[in-house]
Structure 1
Amino acid sequence: AIHEEILELHLEKGALYGAMSAIVARIVSERGGEEFALPADSTPPVPEAAPPSPALGPFVTSMRRNRS
């Protein structure tokens, strides 16, 4: 039961990030993007992936097994 709740929260978080990205993209396109433009020689930082939580190991494994 707790695993389903965790998965639901992850899905909700993903949906929120997607919605925020769409809003930001719309604002940038409406304003022409000038104030958000990066210098030509800059590259955006690559976020480091967080290591998976050991507590979720069996859950993730079972999810992968169920998907295939």
Structure 2
Amino acid sequence: MTVPESGARGWYKSSYSAQANECVETGRAVPGGMAVRDSKDPSGPTLRFTAEAWAAFVGGVKAGELAGG
């Protein structure tokens, strides 16, 4: 299967997932925003978010709005 280029650069995997097998990676999307992919399948599909949507997501995580339970 051919997957379209995400346009993301500088993929990064969290240091919290160093030994885990179920991780995601983030990369800066071009021309802005953020892309997310499965670290086990780097050539697979990616999710792309605008800069505003990514900032809202990160803000929600920091505020504890997305905590499970």
The question of a shared fold, defined as TM-score above 0.5 by the shorter chain, is answered with no
Higher strand share: 2
The alignment's TM-score, normalised by the length of structure 1, stands at 0.23
Higher helix share: 1
User: Which of structures 1 and 2 has the larger relative contact order (alpha carbons within 8 angstroms, sep 6+)?
Assistant: 1
Larger Rg: 1
